[in-house]
């Protein structure tokens, strides 16, 4: 037997499988088209949430702070996963594992304190410092700029 005949006998199940999958997908799509429902009502193509028709644009602009909060949540969620794994192996790890877990929690606590101090966890509208606004009010140039 030559090499091409051997290769053809080894690859024919893959080719048959490929054609079987393509035929099956085409059959399911054709069957779905034939059996599927036809909606003639105008509201059938409109998106809705919990039975409420949408009002306005669906493209809502969210603040970057929303995404930061989501990232912080994921980070601290991963912390919980590590601590659950540590709690399961607590007896085998001994004091060395306990000290490492305390260091891990301390680093994440320091990161949380830094984020809090930075104001990254503030959900409300931005607050202006009274010290700065009082200084601007005393400035003679402030009155000229605001007019």
* Residue 25, token pair as written in the block: 């997908």
The model's pLDDT over 75-119, given as tens digits with 9 standing for 90+, comes to: 888 888 888 888 888 889 889 989 999 999 999 889 888 888 887
CA-wise closest residue to 82 among 67, 54, 59, 104: 104
Mean pLDDT of 118-130: 68
Asked if 58 and 64 count as a contact pair (C-beta separation under 8 A), the reply is no
Average pLDDT of the chain to the nearest whole number: 78
Asked if 86 and 93 count as a contact pair (C-beta separation under 8 A), the reply is yes
Distance CA 22, CA 64 (A): 44
Domains of the chain, residue spans: 64-122
Give the pLDDT band of residue 71 (cuts 50, 70, 90).
confident
Cα→Cα distances 118→13, 17, 106, 122, 123, Å? 62, 59, 18, 9, 13
CATH topology of domain 64-122: Methane Monooxygenase Hydroxylase; Chain G, domain 1 (1.20.58)
The model's pLDDT over 9-47, given as tens digits with 9 standing for 90+, comes to: 788 889 999 999 999 999 999 999 999 877 777 666 666
pLDDT over threshold 80, residue 2: no
Selected residue with higher pLDDT from 131 and 122: 122
Beta strands 48-49 and 52-53 are antiparallel
Give the pLDDT band of residue 4 (cuts 50, 70, 90).
confident
Distance CA 14, CA 42 (A): 46
Asked if 76 and 112 count as a contact pair (C-beta separation under 8 A), the reply is yes
Percent of the chain with pLDDT over 70: 69
* Residue 69, token pair as written in the block: 């909060």
Phi (first) and psi of residue 87, to 5 degrees = -65, -35
pLDDT, position 147: 44
CA-wise closest residue to 112 among 72, 143, 140, 147: 72
């Amino acid at each position: 037997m030559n090499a091409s005949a051997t290769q053809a006998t080894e690859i024919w199940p893959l080719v048959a499988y490929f054609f079987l999958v393509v035929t099956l997908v085409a059959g399911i799509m054709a069957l779905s088209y034939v059996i599927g429902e036809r909606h003639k009502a105008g509201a059938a193509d409109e998106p809705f949430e919990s039975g409420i028709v949408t009002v306005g644009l669906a493209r809502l602009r969210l603040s970057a702070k929303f995404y930061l909060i989501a990232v912080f949540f994921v980070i601290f969620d991963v912390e919980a996963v590590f601590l659950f794994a540590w709690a399961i192996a607590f007896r085998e790890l001994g004091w060395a594992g306990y000290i490492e877990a305390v260091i891990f929690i301390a680093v994440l606590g320091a990161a949380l304190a830094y984020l809090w101090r930075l104001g990254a966890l503030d959900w409300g509208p931005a607050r202006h410092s009274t010290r700065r606004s009082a200084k601007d009010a005393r400035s003679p140039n402030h009155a000229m700029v605001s007019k």
